[in-house]
Chains A and B, each alone.
Chain A
Amino acid sequence: MTDPILDIRGISKSFGALKASNNISLDLRPGEIHALIGPNGAGKSTLIKQIAGGLRPDSGSVYFDGQDITDLSTAARARLGMGRTFQVSSLAMEYTVLQNAVLGALGNRGDIFRFFRPVMKDADLLATASEALEMVGLEDFKSSVTSELSHGQRRQLEVAVALTLSPKVFLMDEPMAGLGTEGSHRLMGFLGELKHKTPILLVEHDMDAVFTLADRISVLVYGEIIASGSVDEIRGNPIVRSAYLGEEAET
């Protein structure tokens, strides 16, 4: 078996008496989509923040590409190759689609402290940005202002900006949320292709998407991973059914 690129080793995080993460171990291997599911309040966002940066675990560590990144900042983790898309769109809303993509390419190249050359005339950055926009199907919206995009298009743009970073892994926090059926299907097709190049840790509510896309699934309930395994294993797991899938079916 290949070595995991992202390896979360026994991390715990408490807020007062609440154990938001309780000794969580999780890994992501090249070529796969590892889905993380769990009901609201299970601690998915807390976990993602500890992986992407911004929240330090009380104990345990996060290894990325063989390196302990537990103490690194969000920005440093991004530079190492962690591409992230947010649950709530985090784009520069006043900028155009192209500007957002160029920003990603620029951040990745690292030379943001340039004061005179017009950045939107930089051929390299434009090429990287355009390529990423084409991959997600936004090439016709380059000059649209981001705040005028539909919800689904913003999701696509989030993915495109992450693509410009040529990351080693993707952390995607509910990329399907709010997408229509058609949008979901298109994004699913895209992610299914993308994983061969870059593995994806996918936090998702859409069960159809998870069962279709994921190679492995981990189920998080009350800060604990109660089950982890292949799609069939999770589907058939009685604990998961009662703790999570059952609840879903009732609502």
Chain B
Amino acid sequence: MRKETICNAALLFGLLAFPLWAWVTDEPFLITLTTRAIVFAIAGVGLNFALGFGGLVSLGHAAFFGLGGYVMGVLAFHAQTYTSVMDWPFVISGTKSMPIIWLVTIILSAVLAVGIGALSLRTSGVYFIMITLAFAQMLFYFTISWSTYGGEDGLSIYVRNGFPGLNTMDPIQYYAICYVVLLMVLAFVFALSRSSFGLALGASRQNEDRIQAVGQVPFRLYLTAFAISGAITGLSGALFADLNRFVSPTMFSWQTSGEIMVFVILGGVGRVFGPVAGAVLFIVLEHLLGGLSEFWHIYLGAILLGVVLFARGGLYGLIAGREVAHD
């Protein structure tokens, strides 16, 4: 078995064993903390699909994370106030059902990503980074002034949304939901990475001339990848909002985009499981260093600098070796 496969298995096992241990020893806080890591991991896996596989350095993935949050917030808000989202030309009412919220989130995030991507993918490099950032900032300022849904203060949802057959307010049960979503997202991205689309996308990242010389258009590949990436990160936003039962414009902020990128870089760019390791490491650091000092971001910065300078493959590169799998 390859080292990377062992790392993946260990990571998934740890993310199963640790919360179970926390549950047995009655430490709900640790379960919630691990749930945060899982949700961040999903966001990172989403960004990594664009960044690692497609080479699209998006600094605007908070747009999708926040959109997921607001889809959840708005739908749940209307459900708890017994009002409708809109009455004309047809009635859309709120919902407290997680599966419906996820579905709406995935569709809207993909649509938003196609819109943002269609414009920003005309550029590359630094310009692409800045344009994606600008789109996320637009949504950030929009939600700040959107007083219907709390504006700057955000929206509180009193009871976590429901999932058929489960009590989502129980931390371990909500954890289980997020864990399964993570597994499904990982399986999806893993399949994509080995598919025709994955092969062509990776080739496009490495050499656009090559993909054109075999008769294909890089733009279409990038746009599809960006939509898939946005949809995954959007889904994690909905889960994050449900975890906190709160959504605010902060989810759209550029710091959020930066944090998602940190998960990817810490864990290992272009590896399916990289962002999972990155998000877990981030949460561990936040928890341990955050306990030592309020200024723990300084240490995070130093670690990030170290990774970028000395371990380009991130945590996965260090442990599983530089070599990316070829099968």
Contacts and interface: CB of A to CB of B under 8 A. Distances in A.
21 contacts: A53-B212, A73-B217, A78-B212, A78-B213, A79-B215, A92-B203, A95-B206, A95-B326, A99-B199, A106-B199, A112-B200, A115-B191, A115-B192, A115-B195, A115-B196, A116-B192, A117-B195, A119-B199, A120-B199, A161-B213, A164-B214
A120 B197 contact: no
Interface string B203-239: 1001101111111110001001000000000000000
A22 interface: no
A165 to B, nearest CB: 6
B305 interface: no
A108 B214 contact: yes
A84 B191 contact: no
Interface in B181-204: 191-192, 194-200, 202-203
A112 B196 contact: yes
Interface string A96-130: 10011011101110111111111110100000000
B87 interface: no
Nearest to A122: B196
B170 interface: no
A144 to B, nearest CB: 10
B294 interface: no
A75 interface: yes
A51 B71 CA distance: 50
Contacts of B198: 119
Interface string A71-94: 001111011000110100011111
B166 interface: no
B216 A119 contact: no
Given A94-B202, A115-B195, A119-B195, A103 B210 contact: yes
Nearest to B195: A115
Nearest to A110: B215
A171 to B, nearest CB: 10
Interface in A26-56: 52-54
Given A92-B202, A94-B206, A112 B216 contact: yes
Nearest to A85: B213
A5 interface: no
A145 interface: yes
A104 to B, nearest CB: 5
Interface residues of A, number: 45
Contact of B211 (A107, A110, A162): A107
Contacts of B214: 78, 103-104, 106-108, 161, 164-165
A143 interface: yes
A93 B212 contact: no
A91 B202 CA distance: 11
A116 B215 contact: no
Contact of A107 (B195, B202, B215): B215
B324 interface: yes
B212 A103 contact: no
Given A92-B202, A118-B194, A108 B209 contact: no
Contacts of A99: 199, 326
A226 B226 CA distance: 49
Interface in B86-131: none
Contact of A90 (B213, B216, B224, B326): B213
B200 A93 contact: no
Given A78-B212, A84-B213, A110-B215, A95 B202 contact: yes
B213 A74 contact: yes
A106 B211 CA distance: 10
Given A54-B212, A107-B215, 8 more contacts: A53-B212, A75-B215, A78-B213, A83-B213, A93-B207, A103-B214, A107-B214, A112-B197
A75 B196 contact: no
B207 A90 contact: yes
B55 to A, nearest CB: 11
Nearest to A106: B196
A121 B30 CA distance: 43
Contact of B197 (A84, A107, A113): A113
B192 A120 contact: no
B207 A118 contact: no
Contacts of A86: 209, 213
A243 B217 CA distance: 40
Contact of A108 (B199, B211, B212, B215): B215
A104 B214 CA distance: 5
A90 to B, nearest CB: 4
A165 B215 contact: yes
B212 A75 contact: yes
